[in-house]
Amino acid sequence: MTDHGPSRRRFLQAGALALTGGLAGCGSSAPAADGSDSATTAEPSPYTRIYREAIDSVLLVQTEQGSGTGWVYDGSHVVTNAHVVGEATDVDLRTRDGSWYTGEVVGTDRNSDLAVVEAADLPEAATTLELADAPATIGQEVVAIGNPFDLDGSVTTGIVSGTDRSIPAPTGFSIPDAIQTDAAVNPGNSGGPLMALDGQVVAVINSGGGDNIAFGISAALARRVLPALIETGSFEHSFMGVALTPITPSLAAANDLDEPRGLLVVDVAPGGPADGVLQPSEAEVADGEGMPVGGDVLLAIEGTQTDTTEALGSYLALETRPGDPVSLTILRDGSERTVELELGTRPARPS
């Protein structure tokens, strides 16, 4: 920018002061109808209210490897991401007044990217934040509170942009039932609360995926996982042992299907729960393009339609446990049938 000298700067400064004074006269300095100062009587925005109510319960979580955010789950436990605590057994916690506390990592689940830290001596102001009772809805306003780039207690706002998303887990599997938001999320926000305007936590912030795209672990999944982490230190996820792909119009044509619906079984893990129960497809060339042909098409699990891998993943995560028997509706050789499968436990990493 070109500098036009002291005279121009003095003119601009004077104009800025005049404009500031004019704006102040129209807003915060104007007396209210009852004679009081409107600046002190105006109702805070809903975002300010949520921030004020929650900020004492949102903490900086620091390890030797880095830092993130956590929030008070109950009187002695703090929730954060598994990737925030990493392999640490103890972490440092800082409240908004700058006080430091030590917390012990009592449970981690890398498949859901959740972790629990025990910190029994937190201040009384650090009260519990409640997980949402109802599922998040698209368009719902939300508030993210955290410590991006170690900027303590930062707040951003947005809406729920999508639900039932599938996002990568540190194990290489996927985290189902995830929440997508356009609230700004940056390094350091991980583990913090994504809150509805009623003050409940709709998701545990997991990652920022790009401009106006961020994700969190749903309250529904967190509600299943967190009690187990507190009680036993781990959580077991259901496992079918199959690789699936949605039936597209081109796949439907290659497999002589009347319509594109369901999930095609493209692989079955040897020795896994689906081995001998479901039949995988084989790679063939159709219309000059290699694609899976043959094999079972999964239409439903326990009567719940499975046209997307996200729908199947959410059902397994929220409705089942390892060892549960489930009924699968499949399409095999052109006709529907039902097969029974006993769910296993998800291994440490995909095979």
Q: Is residue 351 part of a domain?
A: no
Q: Each residue of 171-193: b (16+ CB within 10 Å) or e?
A: bebbbbbbbbbbbbbbebbbbbb
Mean predicted confidence (pLDDT) in 141-159? 95
- What is the domain extent for residue 296? 238-345
Given the residues 56, 109, 113, 177, select the one marked as catalytic: 113
What's the rounded Cα separation, in Å, for the pair 83 and 239? Answer: 22
pLDDT score, position 35: 44
> Same structural domain for residues 211 and 77?
yes
pLDDT tens readout for residues 266-280 = 999 999 999 999 999
Residue 45 to residues 28, 48, 104, 283, Cα–Cα distance (Å): 15, 5, 36, 57
Q: What is the rounded average pLDDT for all residues in the chain?
A: 88
Residue 85 has pLDDT above 80, yes or no: yes
> Same structural domain for residues 209 and 336?
no
pLDDT score, position 8: 35
Nearest 5°: phi and psi at 126?
Answer: -80, 80
- Beta bridge partners, 286, equal 289
> Same structural domain for residues 33 and 56?
no
Measured on CA atoms in the order 274, 82, 319, 173, is the torsion positive or negative? negative
- The reply to whether 237 belongs to the active site is no
Mean predicted confidence (pLDDT) in 165-175? 94
Q: Is residue 21 part of a domain?
A: yes
pLDDT confidence of 286, banded at 50, 70, 90? low
Q: Is residue 1 part of a domain?
A: no
CATH number at residue 298: 2.30.42.10
CATH number at residue 156: 2.40.10.120
Given the residues 67, 83, 109, 296, select the one marked as catalytic: 83
> Same structural domain for residues 23 and 155?
no
- In terms of Cα–Cα distance, which of 173, 169, 142 is closest to 155? 142
What's the rounded Cα separation, in Å, for the pair 174 and 168? Answer: 5
Q: Check: CB of residue 126 under 8 Å from CB of residue 98.
A: no
What's the rounded Cα separation, in Å, for the pair 205 and 154? Answer: 14
- In terms of Cα–Cα distance, which of 90, 78, 76, 68 is closest to 124? 76
pLDDT confidence of 349, banded at 50, 70, 90? confident
pLDDT confidence of 262, banded at 50, 70, 90? very high
221 CB-near residues (< 8 Å, 6+ apart): 112, 175, 176, 177, 317, 318
Element (H, E) at 16: helix 6-26
> Same structural domain for residues 35 and 48?
no
pLDDT confidence of 346, banded at 50, 70, 90? very high
Number of folded domains in the chain?
A: 3
Q: Is residue 134 part of a domain?
A: yes
pLDDT confidence of 148, banded at 50, 70, 90? very high
Residue 309 has pLDDT above 90, yes or no: yes
Mean predicted confidence (pLDDT) in 232-242? 97
Pairing assessment for the beta strands 58-62 and 90-94 based on DSSP bridges: antiparallel
Question: Tokens representing 164?
Answer: 């039932």
- The reply to whether 238 belongs to the active site is no
172 CB-near residues (< 8 Å, 6+ apart): 349, 350
- The reply to whether 83 belongs to the active site is yes
Given the residues 190, 207, 218, 238, select the one marked as catalytic: 190
> Same structural domain for residues 23 and 50?
no
pLDDT tens readout for residues 315-341 = 999 999 999 999 999 999 989 999 999
Residue 298 has pLDDT above 90, yes or no: yes
